[in-house]
Structure 1
């Protein structure tokens, strides 16, 4: 094969179609920096950028014999890489590795939450039985229809009663 600097992109594609490994190497040498730049410009980290670039080369391997304009392989590669990078940008990244346990609350956060729960339970116990039942049902995501049936009260009175009960709870909490 002729020196890579004198060979056009179209000629490299033609040689690569015939299985010429030096042609493939020359294509990679010529266009790999462009593909990396495109992937990283989309804000991908190194691993995701590598995935986008590898997917682009894989697509070329699959489609090299069907390119309409082999001379424009650089533009074709750039378009494919842009699409691969955009697809990876849209995929939400996990906040932590799937096999690693999620980081829990700190001991201080646990103590504050426990204290808040204890204070709320104490304040709730000072309310009337009717308010306690209503607030517990609503906290359990019961619908007004379910609350009405469970407490034998008209649906129209649930909202105002809820409001009064929450006000009493806030007062008991000292808020």
Structure 2
């Protein structure tokens, strides 16, 4: 698995890790963090808008996980439980952010790209996609991030957002339509 890939969805591994964490095994919590840090950080980064905000949010998520792992009843549902905690942390931070004036940050993600035309086109497309996602409303950005980037199932997204599956489907439909409009794509993909 490369660092770009989310962990393989394996409810048995997650369940075993959760049980070991509940028994107080420090190594198990370290494994849990190693397994889920990057996916949770990417989710936070997508919604928070900056690396530092994502770092702060994921740190808060891990504190809440540490405090609440004993209350997790179904270890096989660890993944939606983790993203549910992240969702609540991020929504609380967004509420705080709306109370204060926004100060735009520069986007330093884009570095000099190689001259290879295919690589250049791919990087340009990815940059446009990230920009399009960033301009979407929070609900639409979040549902696309959870479903496509974090590869959660419809049921898991439903659990994370605490909404019915039908609502997830309608939000996905709306989010895809809005993203196509943002990108100027007319039903190509």
Q: TM class, shorter-chain normalised?
A: 0.3 to 0.5
In terms of Rg, which structure is larger?
A: 1
Greater RCO structure (CA 8 Å; 6+ sep): 2
TM-score (norm: length of structure 1): 0.47
